[in-house]
Each structure stands twice: as C-alpha cells, then as structure tokens.
Structure 1
Amino acid sequence: LPIELHPIIDDTQARHIFVNDTFTLRCFVHIDIGVIIVIDWDHPDNHGHENGTKRVFKSVAETTRQLVNNNSYDTVAINITIVNATKDDEGLYRCNATDGNGRTFTATKRIVIFDEHLISSVNFTKDFHDPIIGEHEHDIHFTINAQAFPDISFIDLYWYKDNNPLSINTNDSHIQMNLVNLFDENRTQITLYIMSARPSDSGLYTLVGQTSWSSEQQRNESITNISIPVYIQGDIEILIENHQDFYQLNHTYELLCKSYGYPRPSIQWQWHP
C-alpha cells in the first residue's frame, strides 16, 4: 500500500483568541518527491460572510523542498485565516490531505473564542503536609495542584524562594519545574524538582500565578500564590556575603553571614586579629 499521509496543524498563531481577533492555522504535510496530493481546510459551516464581508481566507497550497542528512523531501502547506473572530467561529477545523488513490487523511484542531470580558483565574492546592524535609545530596520534589480558567496557558507562573525570584529550568540550575495537564476540569499538576539538594536549598518556596492574557479592548489580572517550607537535613552550610579580598582603612563595611541547616543552626561572629 502507498505510504499514509500525516497532516500536521501548527496553531502558534491561533492561541488565546478573543472576539474580534484574527487568527491563522497552518497545515503542512511531508511527502516524498514526486508524490501529488490535494490539501484543503474544512471549517465550521457557520463561517463565511458577515454583513457582506468575507472573513475566511484560505491560502494557495505551497510546496517547498527540504534537505535533511542528504535526503530530500517536499512539504506542502496551506493556511486558513479568520479575521474579526466571533463566537460563531468556534468549532472543529479539519485539514484534509488526499493522495492520488483517493485516500484522505485528516488532522483536527478545536478552536475556542473567548469573550472580551473574560477574567482568567487560578487556584492552587496541595495534597501533602508541610514542611518538606529532605536529605542532603538527595533529590526531592513536591507537586502543586492548579485549577485554572480557561486553562493554565493563560497564567504566568513564577517561583520565589524567601521572596527572591528563583532560577529554574536553566542549564546551570539544579531546580526544575514540570507541568502535567489533566483532562479533568482544566486541572494541572505543577511539580518542582530539587536535584542533589543542599542545606542552602532550605527556605520558603512560593508559587505565584498571574493572569497575562487579555483582549484588545481590556486587560484583566488576578494573582494568587501558595507557599511551601522546605528544610534540608545534613551538614551546616555557611555563606558569607559582601566579602572582599581587600578593604580600605577607615571605611565601613558590612558582612552578612547566612547559615543553612535543619534543625536551624545557631551562629555567631568571632574576630581573630
């Protein structure tokens, strides 16, 4: 049998769509050179004309040739654009790719149009008792449950440790965040991982959720947060801040000593001339 076609829909220009917005879906199919296909869009049948003005635009299918590892293939792509979106534009958009044998393969994307008066929101809960107590050089993690409206993609998420912004998901960070969307009432599990934990990782971890999307007519914001105390057992870790290699005579300096450990250590300064 001939190779099956696999249409793919790119929706990067069709996310968080509000009434009167314009959005575009792009469908593309990778095929062997010389293969002929027909590609087109089906959209909700209540589209078309509004007050005599057409709002649905389909591009002409375009074919481009790609070269990967000395192997060439063609990519056929077609766009559909909706201008001045209304609630009637909600529904299932289908990209159909038909091969020379009359077989049709379909990819679908459901589009939701949000009202301009939408107010995003999120609520955080936890299913565990705090504080979180971990062991030195062991991995620890904890999961926050989020219920967001319309969904978590409308919410900006920030982590803080002791009220300071926390660097996560970077190449040099041993702290990572992972999101898992659940198909039940727009719930998401947000898990924070601390790899090879050390005493200085002890502190109050706060997850902040802030709305970030709005329509062209107005902007709505809401902020919520949840805090989890974390303690790492093990050897005491001491950090001295504001330390310099050289000090000038008759100048004033302040050194800050921070200690980390669980149970909380008792510290004091000593001076040895």
Structure 2
Amino acid sequence: MMNLILICLLCGLYGVLAKDKEQKGKYSVPILDVKTRQLVLDINQTLLLNCRGRWELSWAFPSGLATDQVRVEKSRCGRTRQHYCSRLTVSRSQTQHTGQFRCRYEHKTQRQTFIYVFVTDSQQPFVDQGMNPHVLYMREKHPLIIPCRVTHPNVTTTLVKFPNHSLSPDHRNIIWNSKQGFTIRTPTFYYIGPFFCQTITDGVTHKSRIYFVHRPVSNIMDVYLNTSGSIEALKGDRLVVNCTATAELNTRVNITWDYPGKNSNGGSTSKRILKHQTHMLFYNILTIPKLQRSDRGLYTCRVTSGENTKQVKATVTVYDRPFIRLKPRHGSVMEVQAGQKSYRISLKLQAFPAPEVIWLKDGMVAAEQCSRYRMDGNSLIIRDVAEEDAGKYTVLVRIQEHGLYQNLTLTLVVNVSPQIGEKAVSLQDPGSVPRGSRQVLHCTSHGVPPPHIQWLWHPCPSKGLPAAPQA
C-alpha cells in the first residue's frame, strides 16, 4: 500500500515538473524567424515574417497598417506537426507601416514576441505627418511623450516649440528615441502649447505634424443647487433643479444625476458652459415634467473632473394635494409679564404651497395697530410688552389659489405687578390729630391679576424702644 502511495506521489510530482518545463520551455513564447530586434526596409519593399509556437498564433501590427493590407497564412509544422506556424506578408510597405509587429498566442496574448520594423523614405522621415494638429495631455507627475517617430533609426531630430524655439535632447530631462519620439521626464508649464519635430535630410528641412500639449485642470471650486436641501412640490407639478459647478479655467467636468426616477427615463437634462475671466461655470439642469409620488426621495448631483469628485444633495417631497395644518404651540391661553422686552406669539403651522399669514388683534390687523408689533416668519413679535397688549390674537392662514383658509384665536394675558397709587403722590405730613378723633386712610392699588390689600399698624414706640408692627 505504501509503495502505491509513493508511486502516485512521484507521478504527480513528475506531472507538475513536466508542466513547469512545458511552461518555461523553448516555445513558452512564440519564436520569430529573425534574430534581430529591428528591421529596416525600403519603401515598397515586401515584409515577410514567420512565427512558430506551441499553440494557435495571432498577430498585432501598427495602426497605420490596415487589415486588408496584410496576408496571414497559418499551418501545422514540425517533424510531427505538433507545432503551429504563421506567416505574415506585407507587400509594398509604406512609411506609416513603421512600428512594432507582435506574434502572440491566440488565447494567451501576454505571451508574445515582437520586432520593430522601420520602413524608410528619404522624402518622408516622420511616420506621422499631416496638417491636423494632434492634442497631447500633460498629466501631473507623469512624463510627457511627443510621439514624432521616424522612419529610420539613424534620423536625428530637434524638438521645436512653436514658432521657432529649438530644444535638443540632453539625455536627462529631454530624451530622444527613434521608436517613440521625445520624452520629457518632468514637464513644466513651459511645455504647454504647440510643438513639432524637425530634421534635415540632404539639405531639406522636414517637419512632423504639430502636437498641441494641453494641461487639463481638475480643480472643482464649488458645487451648488438653485434650491435649498429640501424641495416640496405637488403631484403633477414640473420640477426643475439646476446644478452649478464652478471650476478653474481649462477645467472640464462631468455632471451626472442620481434620483428615484432615473431608470424610468422620467427626467431630462440640459447642459450649458460659461467662461468668465477667472473661472468656468458648468450648468446641468434636471427637468421632470410631471411629478409622481414615485419621484419623491433623494436627488444627487455629482461632479467629477479627473480624480476629483464633489456632490450636492436635495430631498424632494411630493404631496397629493395642497393642505393647511394649524394648531397652538403652547395652548390657547398665554401669559406674559408687562415690561418684558419682547414676546413671541407662535404656532404650529404646516402648509403647502406656502400660505399667506395675517395676525389680528381684537379683530384688527395687528401690525397696523401698533408699531411695536411686527411679523417674523409666521410668528408675531411684541416689543416692550405693556398692559394694553392683552387681548384676543387671531391668525388667518390662507392659500388663495387653492381656496384653502384656516384661522386660530389665542388669548394673551399680560400680568402687571401691583402698584399703590398713593406712593406715586407726594403727601404732606398730616401732623398731629386730636386724641379720640376719627380719621379715614385711603389705599389705592392696581395690578393684573387684582392685588390683595393688607393693612399693618405701627404703634408709636416707647421712649428709647423701637415699636413692633401690629396687624
């Protein structure tokens, strides 16, 4: 039994080693029939490449070479025909065919081998030529590549910033590669703008196409809606929400909406861009023509630029019909002390749409009766509270366009501290009165609620002793 287990383990180990050898063997990647890493052909010359591998093969070639300009022939090859072979033929090669040709496994494309082919023409030293400028984007902390590739490995070129400022390779920051172009390892703001490459062949100056280097800016300064964080509307109303983003000049942003009815295509968006001297304004307006109850919920405007994202949200509430809900906040009777600097008469009011609110005092418009009365939102403020402020206060709430009306009456009691009238009048000392005579003393008092009066008698003190008060 032990021998059987040992045999199985050895077989498994052999299988793993065999598979590993297969992965790392001669045909772990396809093999081309050329020994060099690059070829130089003359224009109109035929390119012929043969590739052999362990599995099915495919080719990748420069974008300037159309598929119908290439002929690919596949076959099984080797002594026992266990290998796969593929032949690529390009007749009448052109300068735009310059580039990398790759042979790779069809189902394992990361396993590949390549060769770079130059198709040279003394009258056309640059691969990419044309009148239309090509836009290149400069990214922060990334090298900038100006891809003015050439059709011969020995062509020397100069980088020119428009109109005529020449830059030569310094092998530190500006590096030239005939298969890639110029690489600026640490580009600065100087490299923003139009550039082209230039070379001289047989005394003739040749120029590449123009490359316009653009530095995208992605600084979103602010994002806001044209409404507060809460939106209320009636069923069937039209909802319009404008999301505005401010950003630095040269910034481009993408504005998207998330909202309950997005998947049902219930809304539409329109965009607008304005350029100011110091910043850009981007507008994205979301419109829902007829609101339904299913449209209530959270509405999110999301703004992205590069790796930066900002968003703003609003909650939409949809009511079936207009309404007024009105009730006292602290009961129907209120008390305040005369002399108080201010007093607020408030209530609990819920209504939609926003109603008209009018306060009456004893049946007349309060604000027209006294300058000490003023409205603050739906509340009535009384300044320097006085006794005459006591009375009936009625609030009228109406939504006239929908024919809705409600009112509520509250009673305000103003408490007044008791005062003795005689203390306000300076009386002369009545002096002495005859013993046994009848005297009448008066005490006049006022207050809210009515005060209680109590008389105290202070008898004359005995000689040298203070008198104790008696009732």
Q: Into which bin does the TM-score normalised by the smaller protein fall?
A: 0.5 to 0.7
Percent pairwise identity: 15
* Counterpart-to-counterpart distance in 2, 1:191 and 1:31: 41
Q: Structure 1: which 5+ residue stretches go unaligned?
A: 50-54, 67-71, 180-189, 214-218, 235-260, 265-273
Alpha-carbon spacing, 1:97–1:35, altered in 2? closer, same or farther (3 Å) = same
The answer to whether residue 302 in structure 2 is matched with residue 104 in structure 1 is no
2:326 to 123, 128, 133: 123
Supply the AA of the counterpart residue of 1:175: Y
| 2:385 aligned counterpart, secondary structure | coil
Which ranges of structure 2 fall in alignment gaps of 5 or more residues?
A: 1-217, 418-445, 450-471
Name the CA distance, whole Å, in 1 between partners of 2:275 and 2:385: 49
Are the equivalent residues in 2 in contact too, given 1:26–1:77 (CA < 8 A)? yes
Report how far residue 43 of structure 1 moved. Answer: 2.2
Q: CA deviation at 1:139?
A: 1.4
CA distance in 1, matches of 2:284, 2:292: 22
Query: Root-mean-square deviation (CA), in Å?
Result: 3.7
CA contact (8 A) 1:47 1:56 kept: no
How far residue 45 of structure 1 moved from its aligned partner, in angstroms, is 4.4
Decide which of 25, 28, 42 is 2:241's aligned counterpart: 25
Q: CA 1:128–1:62 in structure 2 vs 1: closer, same or farther (change >3 Å)?
A: same
Letter in 1 for 2:303: A
Pick one of 373, 390, 393 that aligns with 1:175: 373
The residue aligned with 1:165 is: 365
**Aligned partners of 1:141 and 1:193 also within 8 Å:** yes
Letter of the structure 2 residue corresponding to residue 65 of structure 1:
H
- Residue equivalent to 1:184: none
Contact 2:322 2:352 in 1 (8 A): no
Given that residues 272 and 282 in structure 2 are in contact (C-alpha distance below 8 angstroms), is that contact kept between their aligned partners in structure 1?
yes
- 2:425 is equivalent to residue 228 of structure 1: no
Matched AA of 1:221: L
Residue 204, structure 1, aligned to residue 392, structure 2 = yes
Q: How many equivalent residue pairs?
A: 202
Q: Which moved more, 1:195-204 or 1:81-90?
A: 195-204
Q: Distance in 2 between matches of 1:42 and 1:203?
A: 53
**Does structure 1 retain, via aligned residues, the 8 Å contact 2:220–2:246?**
no
Correspondence for 2:224 among 8, 15, 23: 8
TM-score normalised according to structure 2 size? 0.36
Conserved 8 A contact 1:120-1:221: yes
Secondary structure of 2:404's partner? coil
Q: CA deviation at 1:166?
A: 2.7
Equivalence for 1:39: 255
Q: 1:4 to 1:64 in 2, by over 3 A?
A: closer
Q: Which has the higher contact order (CA 8 A, sep 6+)?
A: 1
In structure 2, C-alpha distance between the alignment counterparts of 1:23 and 1:220, rounded to whole Å? 23
Q: Is the 8 A contact 1:90 1:110 kept in 2?
A: yes
- Pair 1:152–1:17, CA change in 2 (3 A): closer
Q: Give the distance between the partners of 1:17 and 1:196, measured in 2 at CA.
A: 40
Change (3 A) 1:43 1:199: same
Taking a change above 3 Å as real, the CA distance of residues 128 and 88 of structure 1, as seen in their structure-2 partners, is closer
Residue 301 of structure 2: aligned partner: 95
Who is 2:276 aligned against? 65
> C-alpha displacement at 1:125, in angstroms?
1.9
Distance 2:248 2:363 in 1: 55
Kindly tell me: are residues 262 and 121 of structure 1, through their superposed partners in 2, closer, same or farther at Cα, counting changes over 3 Å? farther
Q: 1:111 to 1:128 in 2, by over 3 A?
A: closer
How much has 1:146 moved relative to structure 2?
0.8
Which residue identity lines up with residue 122 of structure 1 in the other structure?
Answer: R
CA deviation profile, 1:168-200 (whole Å, cap 9, x unmatched): 9xxx95434445xxxxxxxxxx64322233555
CA contact (8 A) 1:17 1:113 kept: yes
Q: CA, structure 1 residues 20+104, in 2 after alignment: closer, same or farther (shift >3 Å)?
A: same
**Structure 1 partner of 2:289:** 83
C-alpha distance in 2 between matches for 1:129 and 1:86:
38
Please name the residue that 1:193 is paired with.
Answer: 381
Query: Aligned in 2, Cα 1:45/1:81: closer, same or farther, shift over 3 Å?
Result: closer
Query: 1:11 aligns to what SS in structure 2?
Result: coil
SS in 2 for 1:167: helix
Question: Quick one: distance in 2 between partners of 1:162 and 1:28?
Answer: 49
8 Å CA contact retained: 1:42, 1:95: yes
- TM (normalized to structure 1)? 0.58
Larger Rg: 2
Aligned to 1:135: 338
Please tell me whether the aligned partners of residues 362 and 392 of structure 2 are also in contact (alpha carbons under 8 angstroms): yes
Once the two structures are superposed, residues 148-184 of structure 1 have per-residue CA deviations (whole angstroms, 9 ceiling, x without a partner) of: 3xx576443221112112339xxx95434445xxxxx
Superposition deviation, residue 64 in structure 1:
4.9
Q: Secondary structure at the match of 1:88?
A: helix
